[in-house]
Structure 1
């Protein structure tokens, strides 16, 4: 049997630099600067390992021997002491890694891939409003499907899309926790979905104005105000309201408006900018909007920032309309299909949709700008057919 307890408390203090054996794998490593470290050497599964047991002081010879014997017992039981210590650390850590902390950390890690770095809060808000108020203080390692079911049950049948997003975000948070080394159940979200059952909620399409009614509504937008001009350009271009509301002078070059890739929604490559051909009518609206511009943003709000989507929606609501601004994209798409007989690829590109598979897109290098310009000029002519000109600006 290997000799043990070779060192004494006095020797620990007086020995010079070097590696000094106490026996049975316990060593004292003394440095030139006077510092010292206890190290346990052992072999498990044919692999030699070294495990730090702390510095001396404060770890005494007696404490080092006790720790060494504890870890030798783990080796005899077939457990690697280093992995066992890491496991114990993870177990202890579960009490301080709360779901709210993991969710925030996961959000921070993903900001770069979110539109506008997630400033609008749409990625985080389903968690913030429907999960974290009830489960935020639960250690993520203790989270189970019944907790999640109880948190989302109140909105499962009434706000189905929000609940779906909350479950998806929660699944991402759990994967993030697992990547941090925490012991979590990665199937919690799917198990909760099974417990919640099929949602009774039926999705409703955003109300869209029939394309035949668009000219009359366009004619009513004659005040020259920021809201009226924004709605007119929204109709003329067929873009989503987000890029339009944040339209900046620097994005306009001649008769082309270039929307930065990160502002485009959907499956488009976030690095790929999107060119919008501007009809003669659209250019006139932009020129009228320039007199309202602030910091080169063409559609500023009255207070600060840019006009909100709610401002345009409320304008339509006050006019007694059930339609919403986003619905004008459907109006344009129906007109292209029924009236203009626009080729599918061109029509879908007008709306900024991805057309074809990845291989097809790799070989197709055009964005149909010239064809889309013809379509948008024809659409503007239709929209403008009953417009008699703006009134004095508000």
Structure 2
């Protein structure tokens, strides 16, 4: 190897314009205008690279040699010192790399995949409520399984589903941090799961009403109010609360309501809309609701926006009922199984469930609209008391 430390401090100050080697790839470049700087020449993966180490006025000879040795050591390990320095500069320029900041950055990056850009807060709330108050100020590179375990232990069994979501979000945040070039333990969430053990929580289904009792309940929704009309249409269509509450008049064409794909659960990142056949009773409910229309929305709130998710639930609570609006989807699905000969694919599509593998759906692109139209008309007849006890048969 070429000799090192060829220059002396006196020579560095005295030499005129030109390029002078100190050995080991370290050069001093002196310009005609009196300026001077240090340059390190290295070869990385067969490529000749030059990196500036600073001006002579700022970096004395001793410091330039120390820097040169640091970067040469990195080259010996097979790393590119220029890329590493850029990474360090980017990291230094970032806000403090706490879990709070990295989690917010990860959330921003994922908003396009979430319904309504995540404005409902459901993606971020498990972190915001149960993780960040305890761990938010910890640098993400220092986060370990014990920290995560201690944060989630209070809800691990009592709120198992929330804890599971929080752990899932943490895994995403850690991967995001790694993508930013931070040295994080990607296995920390899995290690924390091992420390916490299996949850004792038993998931409970949302209480639903036997389909035979739905007509009697439907008959009690006789007031021409937004809440009564919305609950009636929810029962008649089998839709989830969100698309039902956000229904717009311009989405209805004849007896078909086209629900925007972004409103449907389980259809993240996709643009497919979903067609809902409207029975005669459903169309009548929509007519009764039109006088309440505001801003294009059929079921507006008394203040602003649309009717809240809890409005229909509170109606059933006030009546002392254990069932909840979402349970009518189970009532409908049980009726389809017990009182019709609807094929599995058709019955599942009624509830907007995705059926089959991605490959199967590529070739089978029907949404069974005509078959569903027959079923939903008969469901409406049952609900209104017209078709009790009748078995629905679909034409083959």
Same fold (TM over 0.5): yes
SS of residue in 1 equivalent to 2:320:
coil
Q: Deviations over 1:70-96 (max 9, x none)?
A: 545666788765577578779979993
2:239 is aligned with 1:239: yes
Classify 1:31/1:250 alpha carbon distance in 2 versus 1 (closer, same or farther; 3 Å): farther
Structure 1 residues 54 and 353: alpha-carbon distance in aligned structure 2, compared to 1, 3 A threshold: same
RMSD: 2.9
Partners of 2:41 and 2:363 in 1: CA distance: 60
- The 3 A distance-change label for structure 1 pair 57 and 236 is farther
Q: Secondary structure at the match of 2:265?
A: coil
| Alignment correspondent of 2:131 | 131
Query: Which deviates the most, 33-42 or 98-107?
Result: 33-42
C-alpha deviations, 1:126-184, integer Å up to 9, x for none?
Answer: 00000101000111111111111111111011100000000000000000000111111
Cα gap change, 1:340/1:35 in structure 2, threshold over 3 Å: closer, same or farther? farther
User: CA shift at 1:293, angstroms?
Assistant: 1.1
Q: In 1, are the aligned partners of 2:22 and 2:28 still within 8 Å (CA)? A: no
Partner residue, 1:21: 20
- Paired residues of 2:113 and 2:269 also in contact (CA < 8 A): no
Cα displacement string for residues 305-351 of structure 1 (whole angstroms, at most 9, x for unaligned residues): 11111111011110111000100100110111111222211110010
Note the C-alpha offset of 1:185.
0.7
Shift, 1:228, TM fit = 0.3
Q: Show CA shifts across 1:241-293 (max 9, x none).
A: 00010111221111111111111112576211111011111111111111111
Task: Give the equivalent residue in structure 1 for 2:216.
Answer: 216
Pairing of 1:296-375 with structure 2 (within 5 A): 296-375=296-375
Q: SS at the partner of 1:335?
A: helix
C-alpha distance in structure 2 between counterparts of 1:95 and 1:305, whole Å: 36
Secondary structure of 2:206's counterpart equals coil
SS class of match (1:341): coil
Question: Per-residue deviation at 1:359?
Answer: 2.0
Distance 2:253 2:31 in 1: 68
Partner residue of 1:8? 12
Structure 1 pair 64–232 and aligned structure 2 pair: CA distance change class (3 A): same
The answer to whether the 8 A contact 1:90-1:183 is kept is no
Shift in alpha-carbon separation, 1:44–1:229, aligned structure 2, 3 A: closer
Does residue 182 in structure 1 map to residue 182 in structure 2? yes
Distance 2:178 2:382 in 1: 56
Counterparts in 2 of 1:92 and 1:196: CA distance versus 1, 3 Å: farther
Q: Which residue of 2 aligns with 1:380?
A: 380
Deviation at 1:362, TM superposition (A): 1.3
Change (3 A) 1:49 1:228: same
TM-score (norm. length: structure 1): 0.88
For these two proteins, the number of residue pairs brought into alignment is 382
Alpha-carbon distance between aligned partners in 1 of 2:159 and 2:35, rounded to the nearest angstrom: 62
Structure 1 residue aligned with 2:145: 145
Q: Structure 1 pair 77/261, CA: closer, same or farther in 2 (3 Å)?
A: closer
The answer as to whether partners of 1:216 and 1:386 remain within 8 angstroms in 2 is no
Report how far residue 56 of structure 1 moved: 4.9
Query: Which residue in 2 is equivalent to 1:226?
Result: 226
SS of the residue 2:307 aligns to:
coil
Give the deviation of 1:10 after TM superposition.
Answer: 5.4
- How many angstroms apart in 2 are the aligned matches of 1:262 and 1:79? 45
Q: Larger relative CO (CA 8 A, sep 6+): 1 or 2? A: 1
Distance 1:266 1:72, change over 3 A: closer
Q: Deviations over 1:157-215 (max 9, x none)?
A: 11000000000000000000001111111111111111111111000000011111111
Contact 1:290 1:298 in 2 (8 A): yes
**Mind listing any 5+ residue stretches in structure 2 that lack a counterpart?**
388-396
